[in-house]
Amino acid sequence: MKRRKAVKTNPRIRILSKKLEMVSKKQKAEIWKTIARALEGPAQNWAEVNIEKLDRLTKEKEVVVVPGKVLGSGSLTHSVEVYAFNSSAGAKKSIQSARGKIGTIEELIEKNPKGTGVRIIR
């Protein structure tokens, strides 16, 4: 019995995935392809990263991307730029209070199409 490939119904995911693939090919940046593959998978397998984990794994002024959702548990002691598919209100507040920046993956693609200096956190 053949299994059919699951198709994402959320138009934002479909558009973002295509854009990530296109930019990856055009800029020869493997990071975007990796993120696209993560977002094309089941949502239950997406990254859910707490602020506490970001604080442990990042350094001052580092740029990170989360292929999933950033959650607000914990506190952030340094400024960091975080880009994710989605983030909770608590996470946004924590990042901004630490003088960091929170944004979407789409914003990061526009800002840094080559993906240099960007780290994936899962």
pLDDT digits (tens, 9 = 90+) for 43-53: 899 999 999 99
Q: Where are the domains of the chain?
A: 11-120
pLDDT of residue 5: 66
Q: What percent of the chain has pLDDT over 70?
A: 95
User: What's the CATH code, domain 11-120?
Assistant: 3.100.10.10
| 14-73 confidence digits (pLDDT tens) | 999 999 999 999 999 999 999 999 999 998 999 999 999 999 999 999 999 999 999 999
**Does the pLDDT of residue 4 top 80, yes or no?**
no
Q: Long-range contacts made by residues 22-30, C-beta under 8 angstroms, separation at least 24?
A: 23/109, 23/113, 26/113, 27/113, 27/114, 27/115, 29/113, 29/114, 29/115
H or E, element range at 49:
strand 47-50
Closest CA to 18 of 112, 115, 105: 105
**Cβ-contact 30, 49 below 8 angstroms:** no
How big is the chain by its Cα radius of gyration, in Å?
15
